[in-house]
Structure 1
Amino acid sequence: MAARDHRATLQRALRAHQSDRLDVAERLYRQVLQWHSAQPDALHYLGVLCHQRGRSDEGVELVRAALEITPRHPDAHNNLGNIHKECGRPVEAEACYRRALECSPGHHNALGNLAVVLEVQERLDEAFEAYGALLQQAGDDARGHYLMGLFLRNHAQHMEHLEQAAACFRRSFELDERGLRALEALGVTLYALQRRDEARQVYRDWLAREPDNPVPRHMLAACGGAEAPPRADDAYVRELFDGFADSFDEQLLKNLDYRAPQVLADALGAVLGAPASALDMLDAGCGTGLCAPLVRPYARHLAGVDLSGGMVDKARVRGGYDTLDVAELTAYLQGHPAAWDVVLSADTLVYFGDLQEALAAARAALRPGGWIAFTLEAMDEDADRAELTPSGRYRHTRRYVERVLAAAGFELPRITPDALRREAGQPVPGWVVLARVPSSVAGETA
């Protein structure tokens, strides 16, 4: 087979890969490697594809094999760093990004990724320096301005940092009008600056351009510019998290000091006893699968469900689940009566204002003696209510949570205050909630 034919097959593989036809791409990459086992591009991109399909260890070995052949390939070093980053290995990722920058000092993606993993490691001065270097080298890079805006907002120590963050988000959107996350971040930041009319105008302008987009519609309501819905629309949640899937873990874990999965797992551990791999468990709103490694030791069968297909794809890469489904949560629970010993939900019900239907569905999906465990954002007042906040999420009072748990048929509620994340440099108050289905109920068998 001539080298020209190798290249033609490789180009077909790359086109298939870019259009998410992963089965076709994998077959073609492997065909190239049958003809030419040391073809570095086929090794490199097959490694990336293996990681995308949940075979990250295989992906690492393939990219390393490519780098043995072409050791000064900056894109391969950068992609190897991305695999390590997405597998939660920031130290290894940092080394890869630094090697990419040794090979190509102007590699903007590697520099931005280096800043991200420095921030993950809480080396904030170094991260700020790297973000600044990225903007100096590539002042027209929309992603760089967006990342700097997030850094400034999430580590803000005074209002000037929020003003600077807003300017970064504006510039990011000016450079790339497809970058709607920057527009949403701008609205949230303006509201945090108490420039509420400006925040609402951001969403009104966005809606005027895209009248069918659920994100600005929901966020306009969150800022008080329209009536708040009883829960976030499915289309909003799907659009938000599908667009957020690729950077979800790094944004939550590095910028927001996200603790909900660990806190929830600790609370469950206090009532479940020693892990015995004996329980049927559902991660309701599993996202990218952050809860899986924490609760897997308790589970005989661990299922995950999420409305966002993009998030479920990431959970599949992380692993730990026996089954994963893309579905709306309440309907999924209603379709699985008495299926679970534990239903846990880390920061999913924050997109529900009215919890009654979801908790009733969870109650029906649990067996006698089963536990529900979930987190909410807390409203600290003596009232029975929930409200939509400018973040686009809902918060609830303790009295409201107690009432809906009782109405759904749960007992022994435990509602503990905790800070589950940070925003704009400040902790966001939350509730960690556990409650149990009675062990013996008329019509049910324990």
Structure 2
Amino acid sequence: MDWRVLLQQAMQAHQKDDLDGAERGYREVLELRVAQPDALHYLGVLCHQRGRSDEGAELIRTSLRITPKHPDAHNNLGNVLKESGHLAEAEGCYRRALDCGPDHYNAMNNLAVVLEAQERPEEAFQAYSKLLEMAPEFARGYYLMGTFLRNFAQSMEHLEQSVECFRRAIALDKDDLRALQALGVGLYALNQPSEAAQVYREWLAREPDNPVPQHMLAACGGAEAPSRAGDDYVRDTFDGFADSFDEQLLQNLGYRAPEVLVSALGEFLGDPRGALDVLDAGCGTGLCAGPMRPWTRRLAGVDLSGRMVEKARLRGGYEELEVAEITHWLEQHPQAYDVVLSADTLVYFGELQPVLQASHDALRPGGWVGFTLEASLSDDQGFELTPSGRYRHARGYVETTLEHAGFGDVVVRSDRLRKESGRPVEGWVVLGRRKDD
């Protein structure tokens, strides 16, 4: 068969997410046409998608030695490097893509993102502005500019500008649900709760069964607050967030919860000897796996979002990964673990008693639970649902609930977990030890 036909078939399989078929096709092309640059390029992208990023980067570099002026290949190499944490190298790739294709707005978009991630906000703002000049109908560009203005807000004016960007993104793409949610949160931050509630009501009129506007309407005070976020809300939110989760949290919001939590646990677990059975409850994309690995004999991860679990599987470090609701999972595994840790998962639980009781019962005597929460500095109430869709908890409530669930040696420390709207988010790092039966 002609290699050109094989290449076209492989690309079609790739577009349909048939990664096995696409990889076979690209490799067949390379057997027939050694060093065919498009096959090398697209096979490199595919390898990255399958968690083999070093191999993918080298394949794209090889393609660029053959076609050095290919802007898409430079851009995709930048994406591989960016998502592997090599931000400065990624920046260089995006700049080369723009040298080869000055109108390549995706490369400008990605350049803005890596400049923001490197905490170079003035340059990032210039890049986002240039992006919108290059592609004035690009809805995602307005969403990203709005998010940037919110993340680095120095004044109410910046929050107002971010809201206008979200409005523009929605006008260009009425199905941009992340922009809709961001618009509601932004309006509430501008002390416009009725306008925020109206955004969610209009969204619900379009999609009455969508759990995201249902939850966010309650979060801004437009409906009764539930005792915890519904499973459908959590699943839909994080399935939609999976592809950009690490980038947004780690690089743009200074997310620290996994490292802070594991560091605190390490003070009480002793020397890391690889001897403990550990559950990462709400594992997300697997950010706790690396820091926790030295203590673990067996590390299991559980999350409601299948897309997040896929990302954790690509990251590696777990002997077991399952898609499940964590309270139910804990209840089904009595005395199975030496440690249960949960980084920024219980922020979607208001009432903590059921999940902490289940954690207690899933631990062996003397086992440790560790988790992070967003901090409510008032003891007037145990917990509150905030306009972000997450809950804040009061220290006294956390301590009392842990004690009632059967934990002793309770530690509650304050720490900064992330940034939001240009300001640090204060949280609790919480530890407790199951009492001997």
TM-score, normalised to structure 1, is 0.95
Counterpart in the other structure of 1:296:
293
Alignment check: 8 A CA contact 1:56 1:317 kept: no
Counterpart in the other structure of 1:444:
none
Counterpart in the other structure of 1:282:
279
Counterpart in the other structure of 1:369:
366
Counterpart in the other structure of 2:143:
146
How many Å separate the matches in 2 of 1:431 and 1:179? 33
How many Å separate the matches in 2 of 1:175 and 1:305? 37
How many Å separate the matches in 2 of 1:119 and 1:170? 22
Pick from 420, 424, 432 the counterpart of residue 421 of structure 2.
Answer: 424
Counterpart in the other structure of 2:399:
402
1:195-210 equivalences under 5 Å are 195-210=192-207
Counterpart in the other structure of 2:63:
66
Alignment check: 8 A CA contact 1:384 1:398 kept: no
Deviations 1:54-81 (A, max 9, x none): 1111111221222122111111111111
After TM superposition, give the deviation of residue 137 of structure 1 in Å: 1.2
How many Å separate the matches in 1 of 2:381 and 2:124? 43
How many Å separate the matches in 1 of 2:138 and 2:236? 24
After TM superposition, give the deviation of residue 199 of structure 1 in Å: 0.3
After TM superposition, give the deviation of residue 157 of structure 1 in Å: 0.7
Asked if 1:318 corresponds to 2:315, the answer is yes
How many Å separate the matches in 2 of 1:260 and 1:379? 17
Deviations 1:138-186 (A, max 9, x none): 1111111111101111111110000000000000111111211011000
Counterpart in the other structure of 1:221:
218
Alignment check: 8 A CA contact 1:108 1:138 kept: yes
Alignment check: 8 A CA contact 2:379 2:397 kept: no
Pick from 163, 179, 183 the counterpart of residue 182 of structure 1.
Answer: 179
Counterpart in the other structure of 2:155:
158
Asked if 1:167 corresponds to 2:164, the answer is yes
How many Å separate the matches in 2 of 1:354 and 1:37? 61
> Percent of aligned pairs with the same residue?
68
Counterpart in the other structure of 1:262:
259
Amino acid at match of 2:128: Y
Alignment check: 8 A CA contact 1:282 1:340 kept: yes
Alignment check: 8 A CA contact 1:51 1:317 kept: no
Pick from 378, 381, 397 the counterpart of residue 378 of structure 2.
Answer: 381
After TM superposition, give the deviation of residue 319 of structure 1 in Å: 2.1
How many Å separate the matches in 2 of 1:285 and 1:142? 31
How many Å separate the matches in 2 of 1:351 and 1:65? 45
Structure 2 residue runs of 5 or longer lacking an equivalent are none
Counterpart in the other structure of 2:325:
328
Q: Secondary structure at the match of 1:354?
A: coil
Aligned pair count reads 437
After TM superposition, give the deviation of residue 254 of structure 1 in Å: 3.0
After TM superposition, give the deviation of residue 384 of structure 1 in Å: 4.8
Deviations 1:325-346 (A, max 9, x none): 2111111222222221111111
* Runs of 4+ off more than 6 Å: none
TM-score, normalised to structure 2, is 0.97
How many Å separate the matches in 2 of 1:301 and 1:73? 45
After TM superposition, give the deviation of residue 262 of structure 1 in Å: 1.4
Deviations 1:305-361 (A, max 9, x none): 111111112222222222222111111222222221111111000001111111111
Counterpart in the other structure of 1:137:
134
Structure 1 residue runs of 5 or longer lacking an equivalent are 442-446
Deviations 1:271-320 (A, max 9, x none): 12222222111211111122222111221222211111111122222222
How many Å separate the matches in 2 of 1:145 and 1:317? 30
